[in-house]
Amino acid sequence: MSRIEKRLLEESYDAYGSEMEAEMMDIDWDLMEYEYNNYEPKENTNQINNNNMTKKTMTQKLNGEAYKVETRKEALRRLYTDNALTEEDIYKDKRGFVIITRTGIDKIVSKQNITVAYEVVTMDIEKGYVVLKAVATIKAKDGTIRNMMSFGEAADNNLMGGGKKFPVAMAEKRAMSRVVLKIAGFYEQGVFGQDEIVD
């Protein structure tokens, strides 16, 4: 009996007793051990994007090229300028974080040529909750295509005022805000969308 067989058998015996032992005899242990020993996790889109950024920075470092690490303040100033955001598009929340308004989000989408596609994850209008998945796509200046995914949710307990009448629209706004701010680089600077904030 291999170590995997022993471990699985012990775990199942502890959890289910001897009934499970008989069922486990039908398992293809060689296949299971092969899959266990050869398992390689797949990278998600966010990880691939992070790896590309890291490789670029490491290449610059290895080649002796100068590169500057931006402070948060410098990064935000650059992002505001690059996306033509004005004072009306940004404000500081009383809890201390920076918020971009809905018009600011729309400016970022337009300036960066971001496309966003939505998919319903779950929706029950009678119970008043909706979850949407949003996938944003952007074509970088070097021609590479980047994708980012996020979710937007809306339920009675996280909506205020008139928003309770429109849970689908609120879930769409939240999903869009999150995915746009992520792909444009704002999220990593601690910036949130106006539609995400629940007082």
Could you tell me if 103 and 148 lie in one domain? yes
129-139 and 115-124 as β-strands: parallel, antiparallel, unpaired? antiparallel
Residue 151 phi, psi dihedral angles, 5° rounding: -130, 155
Top-confidence range, 1-5, 20-24, 104-108 = 104-108
Could you tell me if 32 and 98 lie in one domain? no
Give the pLDDT confidence score for residue 20 in this predicted structure: 47
Give the pLDDT confidence score for residue 186 in this predicted structure: 92
Could you tell me if 156 and 101 lie in one domain? yes
Could you tell me if 100 and 153 lie in one domain? yes
Is the CB of residue 187 less than 8 Å from the CB of residue 178?
Answer: yes
Rounded percentage of the chain residues whose pLDDT exceeds 90: 39
Give the pLDDT confidence score for residue 126 in this predicted structure: 84
Could you tell me if 92 and 152 lie in one domain? yes
Over residues 8-18, the pLDDT tens digits come to 556 555 544 45
Give the pLDDT confidence score for residue 16 in this predicted structure: 47
Q: Tokens at residue 148, please? A: 């980012």
Could you tell me if 98 and 150 lie in one domain? yes
Q: Tokens at residue 152, please? A: 């937007």
Top-confidence range, 19-28, 49-58, 82-91 = 82-91
Q: Tokens at residue 66, please? A: 């100068």
Parent domain of 86: 71-196
Could you tell me if 173 and 81 lie in one domain? yes
Residue 138 phi, psi dihedral angles, 5° rounding: -140, 140
Could you tell me if 75 and 64 lie in one domain? no
pLDDT at 183 over 70: yes
Rounded percentage of the chain residues whose pLDDT exceeds 70: 65
Coil/strand/helix, residue 168: helix
Over residues 108-142, the pLDDT tens digits come to 999 999 999 999 999 998 888 899 999 999 988 88
Give the pLDDT confidence score for residue 48 in this predicted structure: 55
pLDDT at 22 over 70: no
Could you tell me if 139 and 170 lie in one domain? yes
What is the average per-residue pLDDT within 31-42?
65
User: What is the number of other CB atoms lying within 10 angstroms of the CB of residue 164?
Assistant: 15
Give the pLDDT confidence score for residue 43 in this predicted structure: 59
Count: domains in the chain: 3
